[in-house]
Structure 1
Amino acid sequence: MVTSVVYRRHLTRILLLGTMVVFMVRLSAQEIAVKTNGLYWLTTTLNAGVEFATSNKVTIELNAAYNPWTFKDDKKMRFWLVQPELKYWLCEKFEGHFVGLHLHSAQFFGGFKDKRYDGYLAGGGISYGYNWILSPHWNLEAAIGLGYARLWFKESDRIYCEKCYENKTKNYVGPTQAAISLVYMF
């Protein structure tokens, strides 16, 4: 319970900081984009992102994803995720190669085999990507990221039992981002 409160406070701070940055950014044509990650859609995960230019070579992106579904035999991995990212474009914003720094935070519940997991994750990483201009308003973007995530969760048998769980933590290092996104430029 305490972990949940602390986690929500951190998430609130991140979202407030992101909102303040958005309002400080000068918005005009070709300064803002909305996007969705096709790889998330393949896993039935609803997702959307918005990206703001802060200069000709720097953008700030905020992505969110949500998966509320339960599948056959009560198999599920419900989660919500936020992933802000600062991108540096090697050519020009929203065009060509970029490198980025991202953070990620999520809450998850579910499992597909004999265990259930109920917990949180937080971390960050670096990314590389490329953005192809398809038309004046449409782009296609591919990105990959590597980084770290700290997970803290309750692990229990798949059959629900209020008292039958074990508190666990895990440190993860590896891929933290994969995207093939359709981007709409304003």
Structure 2
Amino acid sequence: MIRKIVITIGLVLTIGFAATAQQVALKHNLAYDAILTPNLSLEFAMGKKLTLDTQVGWNAFIFNLDVAESNYSETKWAHWMAQPELRYWFCDVFNGWFLGLHGHVGQMNVGGIDIPFVLENKDSIMKDHRYEGWFYGGGLSVGYQWVLSTRSSLEFSLGAGYARINYDKFPCQRCGTKVDEGNANYVGPTKATISYVFFFK
């Protein structure tokens, strides 16, 4: 998993440094921080109306797994996700309103969480199990960017779409033998940004 993340980030950085004639922004999404996921993004201008955003997030935090401890938690939220997005700007790039078309792919190891909007294979004890697997899909977003200076902006956006989830199911969050495997469909929010944007010029 770590190797795939490093390769993804490396490709994003390679594209960014190769685009010397383009305007490039480095971004950090505070909304992604709210779900305890460190993240970075590079966004590249591709003309007067189009940009390509490349958000990557990775949560590898280990929660307390000792059931004898008073602060033991069954919650597990380990995952990584890459979410490229092509954006159309109504004014100029990196300024004002935009529409986005995004894809996403990632890997997860999640337990103790009842995920909303799953359309199939969801039961009332979802939060009592651990799920490992992959997800992929896409969606649409709308957003706005406020220019703060020639070097920085604030960005807000919301998106919704679809994800296909392929998983293995385990009876508890910290151990156990696989009891099931399957697929599920998710329709709902897929993107939210409250990002600080720094420009390379």
Instruction: Indicate how the Cα distance of structure 1 residues 22 and 135 shifts in structure 2: closer, same or farther if over 3 A, else same.
Output: closer
More off after superposition, 168-177 vs 71-80? 71-80
- 1:156·1:166 contact (CA, 8 Å) conserved in 2? yes
Equivalent residue for 1:53, pick from 38, 45, 49: 45
Alignment RMSD: 2.3
More strand by share: 1
Report how many residues are paired.
173
Q: Deviations over 1:11-61 (max 9, x none)?
A: x8x889867865774534xx0001011011122210000000010111011
**Alpha-carbon separation, structure 2, partners of 1:53 and 1:119:** 34
User: Which of 11, 30, 46 lines up with 1:38 in the alignment?
Assistant: 30
Q: Identify the residue that residue 179 of structure 2 maps to in structure 1.
A: 165
Distance 2:150 2:184 in 1: 44
2:190 corresponds to: 176
Q: Does 1:76 align with 2:76?
A: yes
Deviation at 1:165, TM superposition (A): 2.0
Gapped runs of 5+ residues in structure 1?
A: none
TM-score of the superposed pair, with normalisation by structure 2: 0.78
As a proportion of its length, which structure holds more helix?
A: 1
Q: 2:11, 2:30 → 1: CA distance?
A: 27
The yes-or-no answer on 1:66 pairing with 2:72 is: no
Q: Distance in 2 between matches of 1:153 and 1:20?
A: 32
Give the aligned partner of residue 152 of structure 1.
166
Residue type matched to 1:61 in 2?
D
Deviation at 1:110, TM superposition (A): 2.3
- Give CA-to-partner distance per residue, 1:1-20, whole Å, 9 cap, x none: xxx9xxx7xxx8x8898678
* Structure 2 contact 49–88 (Cα < 8 Å) conserved: yes
Contact 1:44 1:67 in 2 (8 A): yes
| Structure 2 gaps, min length 5 | 64-71, 113-126
Partners of 1:50 and 1:23 lie apart in 2 by 10
Letter aligned with residue 25 of structure 2 = A
Runs of 4+ in 1 over 4 A off after TM superposition: 14-26
CA distance in structure 1 between the aligned counterparts of 2:33 and 2:55, rounded to whole angstroms: 14
Q: Determine the C-alpha separation between the residues in 1 that align with 2:110 and 2:188.
A: 22
The 8 Å contact of residues 16 and 44 in structure 2, kept in 1 or not, is answered as yes
